[in-house]
Amino acid sequence: MNVTRELFNDVMVPNYNPAAMIPVRGSGSRVWDQENNEYVDFAGGIAVNVLGHCHPALVNALKEQGDKLWHLSNVFTNEPALRLAKKLTDATFADQVYFANSGGEANEAALKLARRWALDHHGEEKNQIISFKQGFHGRTFFTVTVGGQPAYSDGFGPKPGAIDHATYNDLDSVKALISDKTCAVMMEPLQGEGGIISPTDEFVKGVRELCDKHNALLIFDEVQSGVGRTGELYAYMGLGVTPDILTTAKALGGGFPIGAMITTKEIGASLKVGTHGSTYGGNPLACAVAEAAFDIVNDRALLDNVKRKEQLFRDGLAAINAKYHVFSEVRGKGLLLGGVLTEEYQGRARDFLVASTEQKLMCLVAGANVVRFAPSLIIPDEDIKDGLARFEQAVANVVNAA
């Protein structure tokens, strides 16, 4: 079969608009397309390919588990799931784990658990969920409604109720909404899709205090910020604030689909037998690969190196910006960075993405005004320099075409 980009338009629903080129092979932070053109990958599958493409440890874990067990369902447990759960709980605040297939599903589980916990302990009146404008928590109808971007949730009929949105980094806006009827506040400890926005210390600690005051659970969505992305195993570890529930996915499997919700034993007790479930959650293949990825990432030397590589990116982007003046600032932490476009280039983030692809560089956007970078945590320094050189040419082409 002759596989072309045009075939996409024939056989796929039109909710995506992928690039014209079709990647066929990857190794480390390099990707090759059907014509054997070589790309530098600063996108990481949207902060997923935490160890790059085809990392030997992940490939070996997949092959080894593939010869043992692929799928059982949760009528049975399995060794890879239990090993991974033990490592997650040993490394974090949590006591218990629920496995899913994606970040959206992990967030769905977190929200359902919060509502059920509130019902069990405080009654059915305590059901309000507070989240934040420009937040993003997945594409299920519940999570997309909790996410604070109406463009993603409008047009699908009546939305789930008792959900309110505050303004990120504005503690007064939370105070205006929260009450003893609030069961949970859900937030990203670093907003990703909303524009790569870090919380202030005062804000994140204030939210924790408000949750404590009103007996509400604090849910951290670390789907994008977790598993080493910020230079900490999980971003909460660098904020001095501990959530009650945390969700993790994307980088957790290093490219193999898996998600998890982690929490304390006291809160987790509300997910009694039959209250929630997943056919593929805790799949042996996924958990075996995720365990291999987690073992590599959960290393202080690797995490410290993420912070060093962040500075390489910041220095390189600053040098480019000194010439072309396209960014008002570079936001983010670790290897989740966003170049915020100046007023002159507002709304044109995708132009920079397309121009980068033409220069054989893969990058991302975070809304219309932010160019996003989320590469492998172990991307070689030379690949960072090569990729930034390609990005500089892309920037030059956009500027000169204006």
381 is catalytic: no
pLDDT digit string, tens, across residues 256-310: 999 999 999 999 999 999 999 999 999 999 999 999 999 999 999 999 999 999 9
Cα 317–322–324 angle (5° rounding)?
90
Give the H or E element holding residue 327: strand 327-333
The number of beta carbons lying within 10 Å of the beta carbon of residue 54 is: 13
Catalytically annotated residue among 250, 309, 333, 360: 250
- Using only C-alpha atoms, the chain has a radius of gyration, in whole angstroms, of 21
132 in helix, strand or coil? strand
Phi, psi (degrees; rounded to nearest 5) at 388: -65, -35
* 295 among known catalytic residues: no
Question: Mind listing the pLDDT tens digit of every residue in the chain (402 residues)?
Answer: 999 999 999 999 999 999 999 999 999 999 999 999 999 999 999 999 999 999 999 999 999 999 999 999 999 999 999 999 999 999 999 999 999 999 999 999 999 999 999 999 999 999 999 999 999 999 999 999 999 899 999 999 999 999 999 999 999 999 999 999 999 999 999 998 888 999 999 999 999 999 999 999 999 999 999 999 999 999 999 999 999 999 999 999 999 999 999 999 999 999 999 999 999 999 999 999 999 999 999 999 999 999 999 999 999 999 999 999 999 999 999 999 999 999 999 999 999 999 999 999 999 999 999 999 999 999 999 999 999 999 999 999 999 997
Residues placed in the known binding site for pyridoxal 5'-phosphate = 136, 221-224, 279
Q: Which of 160, 246, 149, 253 is nearest to 192 (CA)?
A: 149
Helix (H) or strand (E) holding 24: strand 23-27
Let me know how long the chain is.
402
For the segment 309-327, what is each residue's pLDDT rounded down to a tens digit?
Answer: 999 999 999 999 999 999 9
Catalytic residue flag (residue 136): yes
**Domains assigned to the chain:** 5-54+300-401 (3.90.1150.10), 57-297 (3.40.640.10)
User: Measured between alpha carbons, how far is 137 from 107 in angstroms, rounded to an integer?
Assistant: 7
* 291: Cβ contacts below 8 Å, ≥ 6 apart: 61, 80, 83, 84, 87
Q: Which of 42, 203, 221, 309 is catalytic?
A: 221
Q: How many CB atoms lie within 10 A of CB 308?
A: 10
The two tokens of residue 144 are: 């997309």
| Token output for 28 | 């480390």
Specify whether the CB–CB gap between 232 and 198 falls below 8 A: no
